[in-house]
Homo-oligomer: A and B are copies of this chain.
Amino acid sequence: MDDLILHEDPRSGNCYKIRLTAALLGLPLERKEYDILTGETRTPGFLANVNSNGRIPVLQIGDRLLPESNAACFYLGEGTELIPGDCFERADMLRWMFFEQYNHEPNIATLRFWLAYIGEAHLTDQQRAQIPAKRIAGQDALALMDRHLSGRAWFVGEACTLADISLYAYTHVAEAGGLRLRDHRYVCAWLDRVAALPGYVPMD
């Protein structure tokens, strides 16, 4: 495999997904850090040379660049046990990864970013006005995950897949955004299960 370089901010759960996937698979990953709070991913150089969307993570594979955290995890997971061999289960894994980016991350990760990194006092009025709705949507996402996990150990099939890694990243730090994890006991048990995987690495 070509050399792998992760362009990242270590505080980002989206970047952590890729580090965790690589760690579980024993793949070496060079890390190149940017500070999103000081705009290091919006500079002309970053936009021209790394990602025109101004976002991290970007996984660099040799000289090719791959933005979008879940796409990067899919690339690393190809041909491994982290992606199911069954066609329906593979699509069902992607179903949870799209759920993560649509229903989970924009609420749970955004609340954490706003409250734990920007700080409530520095939010715009429009951001502050969105907090109650994001809190409800975040709790709804956790509740849906909890119901799904009530009868099973992993999101898809009988073992850990990229769906679990993708959802784990921002779920395990959801309380930094003011959400309550202890209301969701199956989610809590599943978080422990992920953290016990051989090769697991914590978020920085």
Contacts and interface: CB of A to CB of B under 8 A. Distances in A.
Interface in A89-103: 90-92, 94-95, 97-99, 101-103
A contact face: mostly helix, strand, loop, or mixed? helix
Interface in A117-156: 126, 129-130, 133, 144, 147-148
A97 B102 CA distance: 12
A87 interface: yes
Contacts of A129: 126, 129
Interface residues of A, number: 36
A95 B67 contact: yes
A74 B61 contact: no
Contacts of A74: 90-91, 94
B78 A95 contact: no
A182 interface: no
Nearest to A64: B88
Interface string A42-74: 000000000011000000010010111111101
A157 interface: no
26 contacts: A52-B144, A52-B148, A53-B99, A53-B103, A53-B144, A66-B92, A66-B95, A67-B95, A68-B94, A68-B99, A69-B98, A70-B98, A71-B94, A71-B97, A71-B98, A74-B90, A74-B94, A75-B87, A78-B91, A94-B94, A97-B98, A98-B98, A98-B101, A101-B102, A102-B102, A126-B130
